[in-house]
Amino acid sequence: MIISDLQIPFEAHHALDFCKYLKKWANVPDENILNVGDEVDNLNGGMYPKDPDGHHTPNSEIKEAKEKIKQWVAAFPYMRIAISNHGLRWIKKSSMAEIPSQMMRAYQDVLQMPDTWQWSDSWLIETKHRFRITHGMSFGGKTPYRQAAEMSAISVAFGHLHSSAGICRVKTEDKDIWSMNTGCLIDTVSYAFKYNKNDKFKPTLGAGVIVNDGSTPIWVPYN
């Protein structure tokens, strides 16, 4: 199972119930829960101007995120997560302020995430049909899932690009692979996402399941 961008504490209201249902529906073992990153938003760690009408201070955002993460940990005690741009927000902000990394705490520690949740730039999943997950910052365009399949040597699942969920298969003389953009699971009406209010293409909510020894990706819409 592949959980898409949650951006806690601004996740969709029923995102946790949806993911719990999906895990049960597909009979996914605890150890097979993957996450493409942006599991938290770290809104106040971002470099852009903040909404003056936003109701979170940095401390209140952290407090709410910690409480919500406890619920996710209870439901998904094991998780492999891709390192993402939202996860790096505070460290980038501290770097801009010329604060050395040894003086910083990892956001995972601040938010009290468990040791059984692990992070890596990408994860290689050694099923019969191998695939990897990554956040997807190197992909773009209207059909990033096609671009990902053309650029990758093996099948790949990613997030990051909220408005372009989809699956593509590419077969050539050299490879026969799939790629999947899992979309996101954000609360689209939250003030944290007012910046895309006027975008033509809106966030596409859903998550992914990989079955048949890694050969078959399934994208499941949130609704």
- Kindly give, in sequence order, each residue whose CB lies less than 8 Å from that of residue 31, ignoring residues fewer than 6 positions away: 78
Cα separation, 93 vs 174, whole angstroms? 42
* Domains in the chain: boundaries: 2-221
Q: CATH for 2-221?
A: 3.60.21
- Highest-confidence range of 97-106, 113-122, 141-150, 193-202, by mean pLDDT? 113-122
Please state the rounded mean pLDDT for residues 92-114.
Answer: 92
Q: Name the nearest CA neighbour of 10 among 40, 37, 49, 31.
A: 40
Structural contact between residues 35 and 82, judged by C-beta atoms closer than 8 angstroms:
yes
Residue 54 has pLDDT above 90, yes or no: no
Q: Supply the pLDDT for residue 49.
A: 82
Q: Supply the pLDDT for residue 214.
A: 96
Handedness of CA 196, 201, 204, 210 (dihedral sign): negative
pTM for this model (two decimals): 0.94
Cα separation, 189 vs 186, whole angstroms? 9
Residue 200 has pLDDT above 90, yes or no: no
Please state the rounded mean pLDDT for residues 6-31.
Answer: 97
Strand order through the sheet with 117-120? 117-120, 79-82, 34-35, 2-3, 206-211, 216-221
Residue 222 has pLDDT above 90, yes or no: yes
- Kindly give, in sequence order, each residue whose CB lies less than 8 Å from that of residue 147, ignoring residues fewer than 6 positions away: 139, 140, 141
What's the gap between Cα 138 and its chain centre? 14
Query: Which residues sit opposite 122 in a β-bridge?
Result: 134
Q: Name the nearest CA neighbour of 7 among 63, 99, 90, 84.
A: 84
